[in-house]
Amino acid sequence: MKRVFAFWDSSALVPACIHENNSRQARAYLGQFVPVVWWGTFVEVSGTICRAAREHRIGADEKKGAFERLHELRGGWREILPENELRELAAQLLEAHPLRAADSFQAAAALTWCRQRPAGRQFVSSDQRLLACASSLGFEVIEV
């Protein structure tokens, strides 16, 4: 099966790194869709892994494995870098959608990736607000 690119929100990549109820589904989607991410994704997912360890939801071995999986993912994803146009687009999205600032960067990076032509492009996430925003922008949404 040919894999295609899809935009991945950090919330969809976390279960590919840490065992969660939706981990199997996230890994299956990784078999179909090569991740395109915003430049802050590595830090966001790293923060979630560290928080899970601090809260004793994962042990030291699972934390190590989660970071190994994250580094492996990072080696294969395409990253949208910060630029002035992306920042302006993120600010505009905050006015139009009930998003957190980091989520507006995610949506803006997705729009930047597809040159603001989201029809036929997939947006993978487990965040309901971000999925609703992506859908209203014209992306085909895939919930993890």
Per-residue tens of pLDDT for the chain, all 144 residues: 667 999 999 999 999 999 999 999 999 999 999 999 999 999 999 999 999 999 999 999 999 999 999 999 999 999 999 999 999 999 999 999 999 999 999 999 999 999 999 999 999 999 999 999 999 999 999 999
Domain ranges of the chain: 1-144
Whole-structure pTM value: 0.94
Tokens 């990253």: give the residue: 79
- Could you tell me which CATH number the domain at 1-144 has? 3.40.50.1010
Q: What are the tokens at 16?
A: 């590919």
The CA distance from 30 to 108, in Å, is: 22
Extract the runs of DSSP E, i.e. beta strands, from 12-113: 33-38, 78-80
